[in-house]
Each structure stands twice: as structure tokens, then as C-alpha cells.
Amino acid sequence: MKQLMSFIRKEFYHILRDKPTMLILLGIPIIQIILFGYALTTEVKNTQVAVFVPTNDEATQRIVEKINASAYFDVVKYIHSSKEIQPTFNDAKAKLVVVFEDHFAQNLRRTGSAHVQLIADATDPNAATSFTFYASNIIASYQKELMAESKNPYQIIPEVKMLYNPQMIGAYNFVPGVLGMIMLLICAMMTSIAIVREKEMGTMEVLLVSPMKPIYTILSKITPYFVLSCVNFITIMLLSVYALKVPIAGSFLSLVVVSLLYIFVSLALGLLVSTLTSSQQAAMLISGMGLMIPVMLLSGMIFPIENMPIALQWFSKIIPARWYISAVKSIMIQGLGITSVLKEVSVLGFMSLVLVAISLKKFKVRLE
């Protein structure tokens, strides 16, 4: 026991004295949350809009007001002739121009239909699709209001309701993703590097020729990174709840249980990588290329798994992050209890058992 404690203390010295690495490890979750939360969002906010109203009437006024009131749009310019449309884009003053036809309200009243044109700057097609969609929705909502006022109230209007995330807030999707990625990065990559470093520095040789049990070596390598992961877990939780306003809808305890299980799987993965490699670079490459990239691309964090080809869907099943992210989404966003993520929990549990068994079996008591 004294052996183990002294070994763990030594590991903490290694980490605490390598200040740049420690800062990176503790800073990564903060930076990622802030990047994903504020910079790398797919939501389009404050799009600048120009409006061309040939005939100013009640209908056009209300639509423009509605557009301007939306968080997605700022009406920055009123233009007065169709010739001004093109220059408005060129000056980059607007991303979207809303063009009403002549006598808009009059046409609407007389014929029941009127035209409005949405001209978007499609340099960024994704953004253009998003904000034209938003604008169409706003116009549709006005149309709905008109119908409510009219004498025919029995019109059935298809209603789309976005469950759990009506505003399609990106944070709901990426907080579980970042959690899944950070845990893997800290646990798998850093643990494997820490073990391989001993091999590379030659200290493993000295440790092997001692009564130190291999399991102690493993435990003491794992402990500090376990602590670091817990710190990161708390950081991410605090940031997402207080900075990004993503509430924890379900039980926090279940979230902790699932996360601990996932940390365990990641640590076991790191251990496995360390038994397969003999240099820090190789360990970094394997955990970087072999673990990080599949997690980012195939865990459902960025691209929905449902859209992938069947082969990739199958492949994604062996990625622990996929199960973890899905469990976190259920608990944190949908507010479900631990019983509804039993499948995820048992898959992660099974994975951890297999990985620990393999890496213990592969852990060498000799140099080769």
C-alpha cells in the first residue's frame, strides 16, 4: 500500500511539474466548450437583412417588424429601387434581401395571394439555407395570423414541433460530444503516453527489476488521470449549465455513474494502447488517429449516425463514445432515468471488461 501511495505521489509530481501539459489538459475542455458554444455554432444569428418595399402598407410593415424582431435577423437597410439590390450584396451590407411585390397588401386582399422574394447571399450555402428557412417561417407565421383573423378558422395548418430543442440550440448536441471526446483524450491518450514514457526513458527497466507489482504500476498511472478527468467533467458541467444554459434535465447522479463508467473504458483503452506501443509518438498517433478521429466522425457528435452507410453504422457500434454520448443525451437533455439507458450502460460495461482483460493479459512482465 505504501508502495502504491508513493508511486501515485510520483505520478502527480510528473504531471504537476509539466506545467504546459497540465494547463493544456485542464484548458482544453474550457476552450472547446467556448469554441463550440460561441464560435463554431451552426446557428445563424443576426443576419443582416435589407428590405425593398415598393408600396408601403400594413402587411409589409408587419412582416418587416417580425423579421427585425427575430434574433436571427437585423434589418439594416431599406432600399428604394430594384437596382440597389445587387450593390447591397456587393458592399456586404446584407446577406438577405426581402423584396415585396407592388401593392402587396392589396393583392393579398383581392386575389388571396401575394408574392415576396427572398434573395440570399449563398456564398455559404449552409448558412443561406438556414436563414432563408427562418425567414420563410416568419412569413408563414404572419400568414397564419391572417388566417386566424379571417372567417374560415377551420383551416388545418401542419405544425412542426421540435421536441426537447425547439430552438435547435447546438449546445444540446455538442456538450455530450465534448464530454465524450475530452474524457477519451485525457484518459486514453495521456495514460498511454505516461506508461510508454517509462519505457522510453528506460525507467521501466528499473521498475521491472523490483518487487513492484505490475497492477500497482497500472493503478498509479491511472489514478492521476482519473482525477484530472473528474475535474474536467465538473468544468464542462459548470460551463454548460451556467455559461451555455444547457440544463441537466435528468438525474445528476445517473450522469455521474455513466461518466465514471466511460472514464473506466477510456482508461482501459489507454492501457491497451500502451501495451501495443513502445514510443510516445506511436502512442500519441494511435490514440490520436485511432481514437480521436473515429470519435469525432462516427460517434454521432458531428454527423448523425442514421445518415451513415450501413457499414459505418455497424462500425460506430464499437466506438465507446457513441454509447456514452447517446446515454448523456438521454439523461442530460431528455431527462430520462438510468433505466432508459441500460443498453448503453451494459455495452460500456462489457467493453470495459473486455479491454481490461486484454490489457492485463498483454501487460508485459519483461521487456519484450
Residues contributing to the site for other proteins (CB under 8 A): 2-3, 6-7, 10, 13-14, 17-18, 201-203, 205-212, 365-368
Task: For 261, list phi and psi in degrees, rounded to 5.
Answer: -60, -45
Considering the complex, state which of residue 147 and residue 208 has its C-beta at the smaller distance from other proteins. 208
What's the Cα-to-Cα distance from 192 to each of 61, 72, 99, 188, 200, rounded to whole Å? 63, 45, 60, 6, 12
To other proteins, the closest distance from the beta carbon of 4 in angstroms equals: 9
Considering the complex, state which of residue 206 and residue 353 has its C-beta at the smaller distance from other proteins. 206
Considering the complex, state which of residue 203 and residue 346 has its C-beta at the smaller distance from other proteins. 203
Residue owning grid cell 470519435: 295
Cα separation of 138 and 43, whole Å? 16
To other proteins, the closest distance from the beta carbon of 10 in angstroms equals: 5
End-to-end CA, the chain: 28
To other proteins, the closest distance from the beta carbon of 5 in angstroms equals: 8
To other proteins, the closest distance from the beta carbon of 238 in angstroms equals: 31
Residue owning grid cell 464499437: 318
Considering the complex, state which of residue 8 and residue 64 has its C-beta at the smaller distance from other proteins. 8
Considering the complex, state which of residue 13 and residue 133 has its C-beta at the smaller distance from other proteins. 13
Least Cα distance to 236 among 19, 21, 33 occurs for 33
To other proteins, the closest distance from the beta carbon of 14 in angstroms equals: 6
To other proteins, the closest distance from the beta carbon of 362 in angstroms equals: 16
What's the Cα-to-Cα distance from 314 to each of 289, 299, 301, 305, 306, rounded to whole Å? 19, 11, 16, 10, 11
Considering the complex, state which of residue 3 and residue 143 has its C-beta at the smaller distance from other proteins. 3
CB 271 within 8 A of CB 265: no
Considering the complex, state which of residue 166 and residue 202 has its C-beta at the smaller distance from other proteins. 202
To other proteins, the closest distance from the beta carbon of 356 in angstroms equals: 22
Cα separation of 39 and 52, whole Å? 31
